[in-house]
Amino acid sequence: MIFLIVCVTISCKKSVKEIESIYLKDAISKIKVNASIKWVVILPGLGCDGCIQEGEAFMKENIGNLEVLFILSKISSLKILEQKTGIKISEHHNIYIDRGNDFNIPTDNNIYPCIIQLVNNKVSKHEFQCPRNSQAFRKLKNLILSN
Amino acid sequence: MNLRLFFTCLLALILSKCSTDTINVRNEKQGRLKATFKLEITDVKKFLLDNETAPKPQYTQLFEIPGGVRYFTFINRYNNSIYFYDYSTCTFIKKVLFNKKGPDAILIMTGYFIESIDSIYLYDKALTQIALTNDNGKVLKRISLRGNTADKNWFIDYPQYVPQTVTPFVKINDELLFPGQHMGTIPKAMIEKFKFTARINLRSHQVNFSYLYPKELYGYNYNWEGRLFTEVFEDINHENNKLIFSFPVSHDLYIADFKNEEFTKVYAGSNIAGTIHSMSSDPKQTTDKMTLTHFVQQDTYTAVKYDRYRNIYYRVLLNAIHDATVQTSWREKPVTIIVMDKDFKYLGESTIGKGDKEWFWQNSFVTREGLNIEYIEKDSEDYLTLKIFTLKNI
């Protein structure tokens, strides 16, 4: 009986990936995303330093690509981000500043940059640039180049 | 029979997993303290920042040179430097840059202590080292805080350091005290061994470690996961050479002589703070999100500051947000300042607003003008703003 209860409890529990997916679908649906957007990059200001640096470097190289929307969450200083990337944030329409903290992903992965693929303006899949998945931005760059 | 044995074992396993000891730290004087004073803002200082500098620097130090000039200094992690301003006039004086490469490299500077212009002790987080430098950025000496430097697991036995203005370096005689902390739950086997403060002898450059965590708060494998519950905030009363320690989970302050590591406890709680609970889950099963949510839902104490000009103490309380969810940042917690007289008798407390969006309480320090706390300007990064609080009768 106990075994059965444990099995049922485990099977009912959502996986981290599912929790993130539901959250991201909801959060993305609440902001106005241009139809041209195919990729969303959520760049946290606090978290894994090395992973965030990868994200900042990607943003610097790809800010002119209007198929990518950059969401800046938990940014401690826009001024320093502008210095690091050389990007004047107010001049780019594909940057969304998350002042309402609406992209605070409710799992321990929220310290990593998140890459979301959109299909027909809807979340298709997501992954994080993190020590276990350190090639995420490189893969995205290759995908963008191959399109 | 075998099936019954299997279920019995499974039940025992489940029960053992749920049996983490918890501690409930009660506030014995909650609702019974009588306030006679409150804090009021009586002055504001605004320091104009350059293009490479953001407000909310991780570390600041007010440094006074013979002759009376007071420098307000702070770290700039972006360009690896320390900025100097004249505190009285708010004018920029200079910045001291440190190399990121070469023999004088400082890789990740997160804190410092200016003893004099030609003796600046920097903490390099990347190497867990103190580097003695001068205002030309020349490294004169490096001192490891890892104990046995060959041991890759040094962090099990030795503290880690997250320097902030409210966890400052403290100089006593020929020693520099640098408070660190244990990251997360302290294993039962470590509670009587792990010392959280490094003591650097400024003449011999030898490093020793002092001060154990109070066993009644952190012993018995109580689940205090994450970094925030085990932070150690401290200040010194130079009049009597007593160190005052504030632990986030205690309504008391712990006082020690710098020569004697035994603590004396004194009540220093808030009238509004409630019981502080450790987590009931198994530390190994506790996620970062669970820890942070629990932290937000508790009243927790942080900085303690001694005001030598008024002979009083201030203590910061971060008020609980009881309906916090996993989305709530711990930085949003409302900030309350408790004030006590020289004998830690309660004088009053004032809730000044929210952390994160209004107050960067981590940058708090005392001058003859009063208690300085960094204020966060809305939608502007042009200035570093300090608001200065003084006591008023109610």
Q: Using one digit for the tens of pLDDT, what is the confidence trace for A101-110?
A: 899 898 989 9
Task: Check residue B17 and give its pLDDT.
Answer: 47
Give the model's confidence band at A140: pLDDT under 50 very low, under 70 low, under 90 confident, else very high: very high
Could you tell me the CATH number of the domain that includes residue A123?
3.40.30
All residues of chain A having their beta carbon less than 8 Å from the beta carbon of residue B7 are: 1-3
Q: What does the mean pLDDT of chain B come to? A: 93
User: Taking CB atoms and an 8 Å limit, are B54 and A2 in contact across chains?
Assistant: no
Of A2, A79, A106, the CB nearest to B54: A79
Residue A138 in any domain: the answer is yes
The type of residue at A69 is L
Q: Which of B107, B326, B354, B382 to mutate to test the interface with A (most CBs of A within 10 A)?
A: B326
All residues of chain B having their beta carbon less than 8 Å from the beta carbon of residue A20 are: none
- Name the residue of chain A whose CA is nearest to B6's CA: A3
Q: What angle do CA B144, B147, B150 make, to 5 degrees?
A: 85
User: Taking CB atoms and an 8 Å limit, are B326 and A83 in contact across chains?
Assistant: no
- Name the residue of chain A whose CA is nearest to B49's CA: A79
Q: Using one digit for the tens of pLDDT, what is the confidence trace for B159-208?
A: 999 999 999 999 999 999 999 999 999 999 999 999 999 999 999 999 99
Chain A contact present for B51, CB below 8 A: yes
User: Taking CB atoms and an 8 Å limit, are B329 and A104 in contact across chains?
Assistant: yes
% of chain B residues with pLDDT over 90: 84
Q: Which CATH architecture has domain B23-393?
A: 6 Propeller (2.120)
Predicted TM-score of the model (pTM): 0.90
Question: Could you list the residue range(s) of the whole structural domain that residue A74 is in?
Answer: 15-146
Using CA atoms, how far apart are residues B208 and B298, in angstroms rounded to an integer?
A: 34
Task: Check residue B237 and give its pLDDT.
Answer: 95
Residue A8 in any domain: the answer is no
Give the model's confidence band at B3: pLDDT under 50 very low, under 70 low, under 90 confident, else very high: low
Q: How many domains does chain A have?
A: 1
Task: Check residue B6 and give its pLDDT.
Answer: 58
Residues 6 or more apart from B118 whose CB is under 8 A from it? Answer: B134, B135
Q: Which of A3, A6, A46, A80 to mutate to test the interface with B (most CBs of B within 10 A)?
A: A80
A-B C-beta contacts closer than 8 Å: 42
Token duo for residue B359: 């107050």
Give the model's confidence band at A97: pLDDT under 50 very low, under 70 low, under 90 confident, else very high: very high
- Whether the per-residue pLDDT at B15 is higher than 60: the answer is no
Cβ B32 vs Cβ B267: under 8 Å: no
For range B209-229, the mean pLDDT: 95
Task: Check residue B18 and give its pLDDT.
Answer: 45
Using CA atoms, how far apart are residues B226 and B230, in angstroms rounded to an integer?
A: 8
Give the model's confidence band at B306: pLDDT under 50 very low, under 70 low, under 90 confident, else very high: very high
Q: What is the ipTM of this complex?
A: 0.80
Which value, to the nearest 10 degrees, does the dihedral of the CA atoms of residues A80, A82, A85, A86 take? -130
For range B133-141, the mean pLDDT: 93
Residue A9 in any domain: the answer is no
Mapped onto helix, strand or coil, the DSSP state of residue B355 is strand
User: Taking CB atoms and an 8 Å limit, are B14 and A104 in contact across chains?
Assistant: no
Task: Check residue B4 and give its pLDDT.
Answer: 62
What residue ranges do the domains of chain B occupy?
23-393
- Phi and psi based region of residue B42 (left: phi greater than 0; alpha: psi -120 to 50; beta: remaining): alpha
% of chain B residues with pLDDT over 70: 94
- Whether the per-residue pLDDT at A10 is higher than 70: the answer is no
For range B22-30, the mean pLDDT: 96
User: Taking CB atoms and an 8 Å limit, are B327 and A108 in contact across chains?
Assistant: no
Q: Which of residues 67-106 of B touch A (CB under 8 A)?
A: 78
Chain B contact present for A108, CB below 8 A: yes
Of A3, A74, A77, the CB nearest to B54: A77
User: Taking CB atoms and an 8 Å limit, are B10 and A83 in contact across chains?
Assistant: no
Least confident piece of the model among B47-61, B142-156, B215-229, B360-374: B142-156
Give the model's confidence band at B7: pLDDT under 50 very low, under 70 low, under 90 confident, else very high: low
All residues of chain B having their beta carbon less than 8 Å from the beta carbon of residue A77 are: 54-56, 381
Chain A contact present for B55, CB below 8 A: yes
Residue A45 in any domain: the answer is yes
Q: Which of residues 77-106 of A touch B (CB under 8 A)?
A: 77-80, 83-84, 101, 104, 106
Residue A133 in any domain: the answer is yes
H or E element at residue B218: helix B215-218
The type of residue at B196 is F
Residue A7 in any domain: the answer is no
- Three-state SS string over chain A comes to CHHHHHHHHHHHCCCHHHHHHHHHHHHHHCCCCCCCCCEEEEEECCCCHHHHHHHHHHHHHHCCCCCEEEEEECCCCHHHHHHHHCCCHHHCCCEEECCCCCCCCCCHHHHCCEEEEEECCEEEEEEECECCECCHHHHHHHHHHHC
Q: Using one digit for the tens of pLDDT, what is the confidence trace for B195-215?
A: 999 999 999 999 999 999 999
Residue A3 in any domain: the answer is no
Task: Check residue A9 and give its pLDDT.
Answer: 47
Give the model's confidence band at B2: pLDDT under 50 very low, under 70 low, under 90 confident, else very high: low
